Amino acid sequence: MSKITRNSHSVSVQWLHDHLQDENSLVFDASIPKVTADKSDDRDVQIPNTQFFDIKNKFSDTEARFPNTMPSEKQFQEEARKLGVNQDSTIIAYDDLGLYSSARVWWLFKIFGHDNVAVLDGGLPEWINQGYKTEAKQENNKPIGDFEAKYNAKHVVYYDHLEALSKDSKFKIIDARSSDRFNGLVAEPRAGLRSGTISNSVNLPYHQVLNGTTLKPEPELRLIFKTLANENQHLVFSCGSGITASVLSLAATIAGYKNSVYDGSWTEYGTLKTN
């Protein structure tokens, strides 16, 4: 039976290959089109025995005003059970860009009380690069699981908190958008959304914690965050709509920093904050 150690928030493709047939393992493809891409990066293959983790339609509040809004505890539990998630499941999430939307799955399970979850470092591209077998995309349905969601507020920040946090020296708000978007040099990709930044935030484009499709080594991650924040500060990550902020949350957690994700991110803040 596979079990991820408490500090292993990502696993290698070799680890997954070795544990793919474990009885309690569940592998989720969390791929979504990249919002800043000209076309979808969808592939027509997947890692064997994979199920699709539908961030947009099943694991977001689709009735919310802003995209990718975190679902309710009830919705998350019901949808996770449909994917066969049990209390003892080992969950590995990946995406077809290497490391993009899969970190959102890791973060959501942390939010809802399931710690035995990790991101596949390098995702599908690294799996293919290492020569491991794939299969045509298919559903691979599992029996209904017994997972019980328990909301954990420490991993999430809401709009109403931002004003106070931006003025509190115990916190540091870090934006994962590109430097051009952060500095307002290019328009936001979502129609009608203004450019700008959260007060007193700093910029760390999410790709700076990656070497191509994989995470940089832990010592390098520590150095990156050390240049932006003190070790005793609580980091709050934002981006466009909560996807790449989760990548920084994953990297910061590996680097040993306490952190949260601002769920609404710039899409919400830039809409609601008018001055």
Q: Is the pTM of this model over 0.85?
A: yes
Residue 39 buriedness (CB in 10 A; 0-12 / 13-18 / 19+) = exposed
**Pair of tokens at residue 200:** 């007193």
Residue 134 buriedness (CB in 10 A; 0-12 / 13-18 / 19+) = middle
* Mean pLDDT across 232-260: 97
CA 121 to chain centre: 12
The Cα angle at residue 212 between residues 207 and 217, in degrees rounded to 5: 80
Give residue-wise pLDDT tens across range 146-191. Answer: 999 999 998 999 999 999 999 999 999 999 999 999 999 999 998 8
User: Rounded CA gap, 233 and 169, in Å?
Assistant: 8
Do the Cβ atoms of 23 and 1 come closer than 8 Å? yes
Active site residues: 239
Give residue-wise pLDDT tens across range 28-68. Answer: 999 998 766 544 445 799 999 999 999 999 999 999 999 99
* Mean pLDDT across 220-225: 98
* Mean pLDDT across 240-261: 97
Strand ranges, E, within 6-121: 10-11, 25-29, 45-46, 50-52, 90-94, 117-120
Give residue-wise pLDDT tens across range 81-120. Answer: 999 999 999 999 999 999 999 999 999 999 999 999 999 9
pLDDT of the residue at 8 = 81
Helix then strand then coil, % of the chain, to nearest 5: 30, 15, 55
Using left for φ > 0, alpha for ψ between -120 and 50, and beta otherwise, residue 253 falls in alpha
Count of helices and strands (H, E) across the chain: 9, 14
Do the Cβ atoms of 118 and 105 come closer than 8 Å? no
Do the Cβ atoms of 125 and 86 come closer than 8 Å? no
Beta strands at 45-46 and 135-136: parallel, antiparallel or unpaired:
antiparallel
User: Which secondary-structure segment (H or E) carries 268?
Assistant: helix 265-272
Coil, strand, or helix at residue 172?
strand
User: Rounded CA gap, 225 and 235, in Å?
Assistant: 9
User: Rounded CA gap, 254 and 210, in Å?
Assistant: 13
User: Rounded CA gap, 76 and 231, in Å?
Assistant: 32
Do the Cβ atoms of 54 and 80 come closer than 8 Å? no
Report all structural domains of the chain as residue ranges with CATH numbers, in order of start. 10-151 (3.40.250.10), 154-272 (3.40.250.10)
Q: Where are the alpha helices (DSSP H) in 130-243?
A: 159-166, 179-182, 218-226
